Structure formats: structure tokens, C-alpha cells
A and B are shown apart, each in its own frame.
Chain A
Amino acid sequence: MNLVRAVITAGAVLAMPALAHAQEEAAPPRVPVPKAITTVKASRTATKTVRTPVAVVTPAHDPAAPAFRGEGWFQQECGVCHLGRWRKQGQLQPYAPPLTGVLKSANPAREAAVRAFIQTGSQNMPGFRNTFTAAEFDELVAYLKTL
């Protein structure tokens, strides 16, 4: 299992995050709350408006391909920690290490170890032994091999 952790840590170093968490959920500065009805004049500005037509782009994969289906399971169950949140400024740094390289060209022993790690979990990661059907878990592993 130490091997798996080492690989995961190495992956975190190799795949540098695109953006750090910054200025999330910014709240307006608090001011003293008036006790009476208060009217103030605002300065009105017609601001710069950026207009962008956008078209729907569907993922460019065979929907039935195991690795593509596995990406769906990854987004659904692993993404909360291993994918960065999307915000207006782009995709933020993931909370947990990205899994780049963890199963890339892995030999059977390493794959078995990673499978067991995902099923069992650790102090910081829940185990997913009750989450997926056997076929779904294979799809998840097929996706991890592409990272």
C-alpha cells in the first residue's frame, strides 16, 4: 500500500494544478446596519458587457466505451476530492492528489493494490467496496489507466 501512496503523491507533483483556490465565495464587506430606513443615491454605470454565443459540445467518446463510462464514475464519486472545482476563473486545484500516472501501464500487482486501496479506503478516503457493481468498478479502473 505504501507503493500506491508513493505513486499517488508522485502524481500530485507531476500534475500541477491549473489554479489555486483564491477569492472563492467572496462576500461584500460588512457595514454598520442602519436602524432606520435609509435611501442613498447609487452611481450608475453602463458597464462593459462581454457577449459570447456558445454551442453545446458533447464529449467526443463512444458513450459505451468502458473508460468513458469510468470517467463518469470518477466524476461522480471521486471528483469531490480528486477533481478541482469549476469556478468562474477556471478549474481550481483539487483537494486531494490528482491520480495522473497511478495506473498508467501498471503491472497486475500494482493494479490489484490500487483496486484494494479504493475498495478499503484510508484514514482520509472512504472505501468504495459497496458503491459499484463489479462491471462499474472495472470501468472506473479502465478510466484510471488512461490518466
Chain B
Amino acid sequence: MRTHMTRMMLATVVIAGSLATVPTLTQSGDGNGSLTGTVKGADGTVMEGVVVSARSATHAWTTSVYTDARGQYRFPPLTPGQYAVWAQAKGYAVARAGANVAHGGAVADVRLEPLTDAKVIGRQLDGPEWFAALPEATNDDKRMKHLLRNNCTACHGPAYTLAPRFDATGWRSIIDVMARGIPPTRGPGEGNRTWQAYKDDLAEYLGRVSKDLQLKPGPRPSGAATRVVITEFDIPRQGRPLSVHTGTIWTDGPGTRYESKGARDIWVDSTGKLWVSDDRSMGRTTGRLDPRTGTWTDYALPDAKGIATNSHGIWGDRRTDMIFQGGQPDGAILAFDTRKEEFVHFARPNTIPGGGGHIDVDSEGNAWAPAEAGALRLNPKTGEYTYFPVPYPDEVPQANRNQYGLAVDAQDNVWLARAGLEAVAWLDPKTGATGHVRFDPLPTPTLTEKDRSMPVGMNFGPPNGRGPRRLGAGGRNGGNFMWVALNKSDELAKIDVRTKQLVKAYKMPEGSAPYFATVDKNGHVWVPAQNADRIYKLDPRTEQMTEFQLPTRGTDLRHLTVDDSTPTPTIWVTYNRSNKIARLQER
């Protein structure tokens, strides 16, 4: 009887490619709400590393898995119901199917048809693939490629930036507006000094190379990189629906900074709920996702006009589930008691500098934020702020005195990323001792006189920067090391916190733009790539790096958090420009 019922409940419709229909109905499988299938190419060969996604009309999340070496995919048990299913691989049209997942399970076999239009294929690709296509045979082209990297794609993903393929005149108009601000708050020729200095060079280069870029999809995931379940939760917004494009269907291109930018940093509390900071969305200073139900709650700290204040960084203390947020307009470190569901505001006395965006928490529960030429600590128990100066060397010009990322190591030393100095600074709060660990400039390209006169920051500067952006140790998990995301040179730097020496820099794909690092309970280092729609896991013992590709384009990853309470650490990441939170579970 059970077998009969199981077969009766199986239903599969398979559509291959964008046009062709392949009638495939497979009646097998007896799992509990399982969804499985095989993916083949147009020639009938099985395809590994194809991402297959499923979404129920009644859920606000999408579940994705990858095909294995036999071309087979297998979802974790799904709630019974009707699902939209789609399969994607770079260079192929999306293949859609519908599946009625019942208690007996369903099977959806998929066939992928290749794409031919370079414009359409380009939308499926991410930073490393676009960067691989940019010419660099001459020193000048290599110089321009690095200038693009350091000044344009330091904020905007390469696929979004380069896809319009303007001519030189068009690029110049865009760069000019960028330099002056949108809307322009400065006159023609004014504004960001570096972008103004390079706008003609960049416009000529982009106009020359972007129109006919020969883009080539990179390799699909294989082996361990396919053994993962990724669940993406859409983030609701007060007063408006989701954007038309959120990077879900790759050929539709990425979401945009203006329509789908939202949650920024993320932290998981002791009960498994997710908390995010947000510097865009109405009615939200922080947002909470309960992944068990998919329900979302906004929490607003209203300003004098009743508008929710911004927030940038977020991190918390799992012993108290108190969270802290940076990026407040008054320079305070904003606390939020997740158990009482209320903000606690510690007004910053105007005798010390305000705290910046990034937040970390030390072993005693103090919150830390970068502050001008130093770091700011909030002791939430005593309500005391302490400012710690971390002076720059005298020779550093004022324009290069900038810092962004902050992290606390396992010994409670505090580290600051100083891109303008091509260094990280360290502070021992117990003694007040400070110092720097510097990164050598890139040996190539050869700089021009103009290059050498340019100011340096995390998203502007000459073509030889390494760009330390954010860093992390995962608290005690980090042991003797601090990990630094070198955003401009695509490297992950390992620093010994005892000797304050650079141990090694691990090369990552060019154009991936690592942004942050943290460490899980097993000592694995997790790195979100700003421009790659990929998350990297480094095992420092074997020095093996695993690349997990994400099912969305234009993710713009800036942060992630690890839930060590699960047997295998669970990774949570915000898609800053696609308005989603993703959960990555290895299987």
C-alpha cells in the first residue's frame, strides 16, 4: 500500500533549457519528502557541480544543492508541497521544472542547453571570471587592471560594473559622476582626488577593452565543494516588495546597490537566531531572522524625527546574547538586549572620538569599534567608554590615515586594518602597547609618478595596493593567529599574534576580493569574497582551501558568522547587495 501511495504521489515535470521540453518522468524514490534527480547536458553527458534550487510558494526561502560526479543531486528532506525547481550552470540557460514533493519523494531530471550570447553569459559570471578576461600583457594594461580593481570594484562587483560595456565617453561620464558623488555634491573636476586623477585613463582603458571581452566560465564545483546545502532566506522590507532582480536567475544579472542593498553584517545568537545590521532599509536599525520559521522582525531605534538609525557592523556575546552595533550617527556603540528585545543606548561623551563601523567583542564581553587614530571600547556592565590611541607613524600623510576593520584575537589584543598604510595595527589594551605589521606593495605593475602621488584607502589608491580591509580570529578559535583579508591583492594573510609577524599570505582567485575572515571551532578559516559570489574555507593544517559557490549572483559578501553549536559548524552570510541571508551546511 505504501509503495502504491508513494508512486501515486510522485510527480515531475522537466523543462530543459529555456525553450526545449524534455518529457522525463521518473517514478522512484521512497524518501521522506525527498527531491532528487540527474542533470545532463544537451549531449546527454552527466554534469557535476550544477546548482539545483527548489522553492515552495509558501516559503520565503530557497534551498539549493549541487550535483555530484554522477550528475545526481539530492535535497535534504523538504516539507511536502509544490516546488519550483531550477538548475543553473555558467554558460547554460536556466532549466526550470516543477516538483510535487510528497512524503514519498519526487524526482526531477534536468537537461541544460548551452548559451551563445556573450552578453547573457557575462551576467552569469562573477569577479574572477571578468578579471581573467581583462588584458594585462603590457605594464600599462596591468596597471589599469589594478586601478580598476582598487578604485571601482572595491565597492561594485565586476559583473555589475563592467556588464554595460560603454564606450570611452560613456565610461568617463560615469566615473566623473562617481568622483563627484551621486547626486554630485561637488563641481566638475572636483571630488575624490584619485578618481579624478585616473578618470581619463580608466575611461580609455574600459572603452577599449570592455566591449569585446572574451568571457569564459570558470570550472564548476567538484568533490567536497558540491557536498553542501545552501538555504537562502529573502529579507522582507517595510513598504516595498522584493526587487525584480535579486541575482536568483543568473541570466537576469545581479541585484543593484539602489534596489536590493540591505543587510550588512550578521551574528548568530545562542538560540540560533540571526541578527543583522542595515544601513539602507526603512524601519530597521537591526533585523532578526528566526530560521526555524523564516519569520523576520525589524527593530528600530528612532531618531528625533522618528527615523530608524543606521547600523553598519554587528557582533555579540553569546553568554548574554547582548549585541553591539557600529555606524551610529552619534558615534556611540549601540547595544541591544536580544532577550528583552530593546536597545540600550550608551551616550558617548564628547571628549573622546566616536566609534566607527566594524564591531568585535572581547572575552570579557566588552565591545570594540575603530575610532579615529585608535580604538573605542565599551564596557556594557559599567557603562564606561575607553579610548585607546594607536598612533600612526609620523611619516604617514594625513590622507592615508584611515582604518576600517577591527578584530580581537584570542589574547584580547585588538587589531585594526589600515589600508592607507598597507598595514594592520595592533593594540594590547592591558599595557597600551601598539605597533604595526606592514604588507609589502605588489612588485608589479611598475608605478608612474602620478601613481606615487596618490592617496591610499581601502577603496581608492594606486595600482600596487594589497588593501587590508577586514580581519578576524573568531575569538578563542583563532588561537595564535589573526587572519587578514587583503581585498585588493586577493590574499588571506596569516599573522602570529605572539610575534606580531606575517607568517604567510594565501593566494585567492584574482578578482575575488576577500573581505573578512573568521575561524570556526575546528580551526577552519572562513572568508567571504566580496566580488566572487563564493565563500572560502581554509584548513590551516593541510593548507587546503575549499571554494563554495553560492546560488545567487551579485551577492557582495562583506561578513559572515559561524554557529559552532552544530556538530559541523554552520555558516551564515549576508548578501549585502542581493537582500538575502544564506545558510551553508556541509554534508
Contact = CB atoms under 8 A, between A and B. Distances in A.
A33 interface: yes
B310 interface: yes
B245 A72 contact: yes
A109 interface: no
A40 B385 contact: yes
22 contacts: A28-B354, A29-B331, A33-B353, A36-B389, A37-B432, A42-B348, A42-B384, A43-B347, A44-B345, A45-B346, A48-B302, A49-B342, A50-B298, A51-B298, A54-B283, A69-B252, A77-B164, A81-B177, A86-B259, A87-B282, A89-B307, A131-B165
Given A42-B383, A56-B242, A75 B256 contact: yes
Interface of A: 21, 26-31, 33-60, 68-69, 71-72, 75-77, 79-81, 83, 85-90, 93, 95, 121, 123-128, 130-133, 136
A44 to B, nearest CB: 5
Contacts of A60: 241
B345 A56 contact: no
Interface string B333-352: 00000000111111111111
> Which among A30, A42, A89 has the greatest number of chain B C-beta atoms within 10 A?
A42
Given A39-B387, A50-B302, A89-B305, 12 more contacts: A29-B354, A38-B352, A41-B384, A43-B347, A44-B344, A45-B346, A55-B296, A75-B259, A76-B245, A85-B182, A86-B258, A86-B280
Nearest to B238: A54
A123 B384 contact: no
A104 to B, nearest CB: 20
> Which among A30, A33, A81, A123 has the greatest number of chain B C-beta atoms within 10 A?
A33
Contacts of A27: 329
A48 to B, nearest CB: 6
Given A37-B389, A89-B282, A127 B170 contact: yes
B564 interface: no
Contacts of A87: 280, 282
Contacts of A128: 164, 166
Contacts of B182: 80-81, 85, 95
Tell me what chain B mostly uses at the interface: helix, strand, loop, or mixed: loop
A94 to B, nearest CB: 8
Contact of B350 (A31, A36, A50): A31
B242 A59 contact: yes
B540 to A, nearest CB: 34
Contacts of B173: 121, 123-126
B566 to A, nearest CB: 25
Interface of B: 60, 117, 119-120, 160, 163-167, 169-171, 173-174, 177, 182-184, 211, 234-245, 252-254, 256-259, 261, 280-284, 295-302, 305, 307-310, 328-332, 341-354, 372-374, 378, 382-389, 432
B377 to A, nearest CB: 9
Contacts of A79: 256, 258-259
Tell me what chain A mostly uses at the interface: helix, strand, loop, or mixed: loop
Contacts of B386: 37-40
A70 to B, nearest CB: 9
Instruction: Give 5 nearest A-B pairs by CB, closest first.
Output: A126-B170, A28-B331, A28-B354, A72-B244, A130-B165
B308 A50 contact: yes
A131 B163 contact: yes
Contacts of A40: 349, 351-352, 384-386
Contacts of B298: 50-54
Contact of B296 (A30, A53, A71): A53
Contacts of A80: 182, 256-258
B352 A31 contact: yes
Given A56-B234, A75-B259, A76-B256, A68 B169 contact: no
B60 A56 contact: yes
Given A40-B351, A44-B346, A47-B345, A75 B243 contact: yes
A88 B345 contact: no
